[in-house]
Amino acid sequence: MKRLVALLPVLCLLAAPAVADFYVAGDFNGWDAAGNVMTDLGGGFHSLSLTLGADEWHEFKVTDGTWDDAWPQSGNSWLYTDGDGNITITYDTNTYTDGWLGATERIGLNYEPGHQWAVAGDVNGWSNNDPAWYMTDMGGGIRSVTATIAAPGDYYWKPVEAGSWNSIGADARSVNADNMMYTTTVPDEVVTFEVDVLTGITRAVPEPATLVGLLLGLGLIRRR
């Protein structure tokens, strides 16, 4: 009998549910660092579905259950709920080399209200609502705009929800996200700015025509 009693605590410990890796803390749960547990989907992916008020805007962070490790680090992330108050948050801990930023710890959403997005940066005095830099809705959460950058150099920028500082930058989806840099190397270089407002990633890339023009100028493409 004594032997069975001694083993009981060990059996209970083995049967206890696993402690979740990640949580969501936000203005909707009193900023409790372990407020809402995320489901581990495997492969570095985690998910949390919430039902809040309809068509609401909220701030939040992903945590390890404490405030020792919370993401994004530079500020709070943000979301909109749909007309029924529903939203699903995803957190991807994998690291990518696909040219999109952020490269890791990507915070995604399953819903966005279709608001206008724009580029804010050095080239337009950091205006967050410049019609000349409005991004076109390409579908599937992608927004894009192509522009000619007059002078070669290093430039800082980020995509923003027009008229606000809801943005996506080097630190993923964040209010006033970390700025990013792109570099142009020739006059009048064409650059395409893109953001995926669902996945929470963004990039600035030169157009292929710009590279072809540069190669022609250097005589590296033989003319027939």
CATH number reported for the structural domain that contains residue 68 in this entry? 2.60.40.10
pTM for the full predicted model: 0.83
Examine residue 76 and state whether it is found in any structural domain, yes or no.
yes
Average pLDDT over residues 2-10: 38
> Quick one: pLDDT at residue 208?
60
Domain end position, chosen among 82, 109, 136: 109
Q: What is the rounded average pLDDT of the residues 89-105?
A: 95
Q: What is the mean pLDDT of residues 213-220?
A: 42
- Residue 122 scores a pLDDT above 70: yes
Q: Are 128 and 99 in a shared domain?
A: no
Residue 1 has pLDDT above 90, yes or no: no
Q: How many domains does the chain have?
A: 2
In a domain, residue 6? The reply is no
How many whole angstroms separate alpha carbon 200 and alpha carbon 206?
21
**Are 29 and 84 in the same domain?**
yes
Render pLDDT for 27-41 as a digit per residue (tens, 0 to 9): 999 999 999 999 999
120 touches 145 (CB < 8 A): no
Residue type, 169: G
Residue 168 exposed, middle or buried by CB count within 10 Å (0-12, 13-18, 19+)? buried
Q: Above pLDDT 90, what percent of the chain? A: 79
Query: How many angstroms separate the first and last alpha carbons of the chain?
Result: 95
Is 91 a domain residue? yes
Q: How many H helices and E strands in the chain?
A: 2, 18
Predicted pLDDT of residue 135: 98
Mean pLDDT, residues 65-87 taken together: 95
The answer to whether residue 66 is domain-embedded is yes
Q: How many CA atoms lie within 13 A of 220 on its CB side?
A: 7
Q: Which amino acid is at 53?
A: G
**121 in the same domain as 105:** no
Interval 10-24: pLDDT, tens: 333 333 344 459 999
Indicate the average pLDDT of the chain: 87
Q: Where are the alpha helices (DSSP H) in the chain?
A: 2-15, 208-217
Which residue range is the domain that position 62 belongs to? 23-109
Residue 99 falls within a domain, yes or no?
A: yes
Peptide bond into 102 cis (omega under 30): yes
The letter for the amino acid at 126 is W
Average pLDDT, integer, range 164-174: 94
Q: Is residue 14 part of a domain?
A: no
28 & 104 share domain: yes
181 occurs within a structural domain = yes
Arithmetic mean of pLDDT, 68-91? 96
- Tell me: do 128 and 190 sit in the same domain: yes
- 31-72 pLDDT, tens digit per residue, is 999 999 999 999 999 999 999 999 999 999 999 999 999 999
Same domain for 199 and 168: yes
pLDDT computed for residue 207 by the predictor: 80
Give residue 107's pLDDT. 97
Indicate whether 95 and 157 sit together in one domain. Answer: no
Helix (H) or strand (E) holding 190: strand 189-196
| Residue 183 placed within a domain | yes
- Residue where the block lists tokens 């157009």: 207
